[in-house]
Amino acid sequence: MHVPDLSSICESESHVVLLFDQTPNSFCYLGLGSKRELRFEKPEPGILEALEAFSQRGSSWTFGWLGYDLKNTIENLETHKPNTLGHPVLAWWEPEILIRFSDVSIDILRGNKSDPRTTEAVEAIKRKGQLKEGPGGELSWSWCKTDYIKAFDQVQQLIQQGDVYELNLCMPLKGKADSKDSWPLFHRLQRLTQAPFSAYLQFGEYRIMSGSPERFLQKEGGRIISQPIKGTVRRGCTAEEDTALALALKSSEKERAENIMIVDLVRNDLSRVAEKTTVAVTELCKVYSYETVHQMVSTIECRLSPGKQLSDILHATFPMGSMTGAPKVAAMKHIDQIEVEGRGIYSGSVGYISPSGDFDFNVLIRSLFHNAKTEDLMSNVGGAITSLSDAEQEYEECQLKAEAIFTTIKK
C-alpha cells in the first residue's frame, strides 16, 4: 500500500491523524480537523476517566496519544527530569472528517462526500505521495558511549541488589528540523521501516512521526490482546545470512529471557481486568521480520471482565512493561533517576477508540517527535537490560534501532 500524498493537507489542517498499516487485510485511518478535543498538559488525577468519558460521548471515533508520564497519575510517581519538547501528556480528538481505507476500498466514516476537504482527502489517498528528498534535520545523541556504559553498570548493580530483574534503558536524541518537515519526515520513515503500527499525528504545532512495529493493546469486543516485543537483530545482506540471523534470535537464551519476563508482567497486568482463568499466551517468542530488523514478539490475550472500562484497562496496564522493566513500578522509579531526560511522549502510545469502545494502541518506539513552533526534534532509543546483558552488545543494539531514524533525517 502506498503512502498517501498528505503534503498540502498537513499544511492547511491543524489536526491530522494517519494510522497507517500496510500488512495484508488491514485498514488505515485518515482524520482531518477537530470537532472537539481533550488536552492535558501534565498528569492530573482523573485524566484516564476523562478520556473514557470523552471517547464515549456521541458514539464517535476518536484518536490521539497517551504520554509516558501518565505513569505519575496511575502509580503516584514523579518525573524529576522533565522532557523539554512540550507535547501535552494527553491529546485526544474527534476528527471532522474520517476516512478508512485499504488497498481495495475507501470508506467515508465521517464527513460530507461533497465537502471539498473530503474530496481532497480522498484524492490524496488515491495519489501516491512524492518523496521529498530535500527536508531533513539534525539529531545527536545526548549520551556518548561512555555515558551509556556507566548507566548500564548502574542498572546491572540494581539487578544484582534485587531491586529489579529487567530494566529498559533509553537514550534521547535531540536536534532540529524545519517546521514544515514533519510530514516529509514521516513519509521517509515509513518508506524505510514499513512498520505495521506506523502513525502520523498533528495536533497544532505538536507532531508525532511513528514507525512503530509494536502493539500495546487491542480491544475487540470482550477480547484484549497485547503483543510485547523484546529481542532485536538486523536483517541480513543475503537470504542465507538473513535466515541465520533470525534463527539465532529465536534460539538466544538472553533474548528469550527478556521476552518471557515481560510476558509474565503483561499476564499479571491483564489479570487485573480479565475474567478468571482467561489470560493466555497464544504466541511465545515468535520471530517476525520487518523491513530493517527481525523482532521477537509474544502475544497475550484475555477476556475482559464484565464492567471493566477503558480507564480500568489503562490503570492496569499502562505504561507497557516492554518499555519499563520488571517489577514495573521499581523500574520506572530507577529509570527516572538514571536517564538523562524525561521521556515525554516516548514510551507512550497512539491509537484510536471506536464508537463501540473497541481500540487499538501502539507502543511509541522508533519514532520522531517534533515541535513545529520551536523546531525542536527528538527521538529515543533503548533496550532491555537483564543479568545476561552485555554492555557492548546493548549499545550496538541501540545503534541498530537508531539507523532508520538517522537515515530519515539525513539530507
We report the CATH number of the domain holding residue 343 as 3.60.120.10
| Rounded mean pLDDT for each run of 10 residues along the chain, 411 residues in total | 91 97 87 98 97 93 98 95 94 98 93 93 88 75 95 97 96 94 94 93 98 96 96 92 95 92 96 97 95 93 97 98 95 96 96 97 97 97 93 94 91 63
DSSP assignment string, 233-254: EEPPSSHHHHHHHHHHHHH-HH
The residue length of the chain stands at: 411
| Cα separation, 200 vs 19, whole angstroms | 7
| Cα separation, 334 vs 321, whole angstroms | 14
Q: Do the domain assignments include residue 2? A: no
| Cα separation, 302 vs 274, whole angstroms | 6
pLDDT at 411: 63
Considering the entire predicted model, what is its pTM?
0.95
Q: Do the domain assignments include residue 1? A: no
Q: Is 230 a catalytic residue?
A: yes
Number of domains into which the chain is organized: 1
| Cα separation, 300 vs 228, whole angstroms | 8
Nearest to 376 by CA among 344, 407, 350: 344
Q: Which of 13, 96, 214, 258 is catalytic?
A: 214
Q: Is 176 a catalytic residue?
A: no
pLDDT at 133: 64
| Cα separation, 73 vs 84, whole angstroms | 20
User: What sign has the CA pseudo-torsion 225, 231, 234, 238?
Assistant: negative
Residue 19's contacts (CB-CB under 8 Å, 6 or more residues apart) are 28, 29, 63, 198, 199, 350, 351, 352, 360
Q: Do the domain assignments include residue 355? A: yes
| Cα separation, 46 vs 53, whole angstroms | 11
Q: Which long-range contacts (CB under 8 A, 24 or more apart) does 237-245 make?
A: 242/289, 245/294
Q: Identify whether the C-beta of residue 176 lies closer than 8 Å to the C-beta of residue 409.
A: no
Q: Do the domain assignments include residue 41? A: yes
Match 497544532 to its residue by C-alpha cell: 204
pLDDT at 393: 94
Q: Do the domain assignments include residue 398? A: yes
Neighbouring C-beta atoms of residue 404, cutoff 10 Å:
20
Q: Domain span at residue 389? A: 7-409
Q: Do the domain assignments include residue 269? A: yes
Q: Which of 71, 174, 230, 401 is catalytic?
A: 230
Residue 44 is which amino acid? Answer: E
pLDDT at 128: 81
- Distance, CA of 139 to chain centre: 20
DSSP code of 410?
-
Nearest to 138 by CA among 176, 85, 172: 176
Cell of 315: 490503570
Residue 186, classified by CB atoms within 10 Å of its CB into exposed (0-12), middle (13-18) or buried (19+), is buried
Match 502493539 to its residue by C-alpha cell: 215
At residue 19, the 3 state secondary structure works out as strand
The residue ranges of DSSP E strands in 257-391, in sequence order, are 280-289, 293-303, 325-326, 349-353, 359-362, 367-371, 376-385
Tell me the C-alpha to C-alpha distance, in Å, between residue 394 and each of 213, 254, 330, 332: 19, 11, 21, 19
At residue 406, the 3 state secondary structure works out as helix
pLDDT at 135: 62
pLDDT at 129: 73
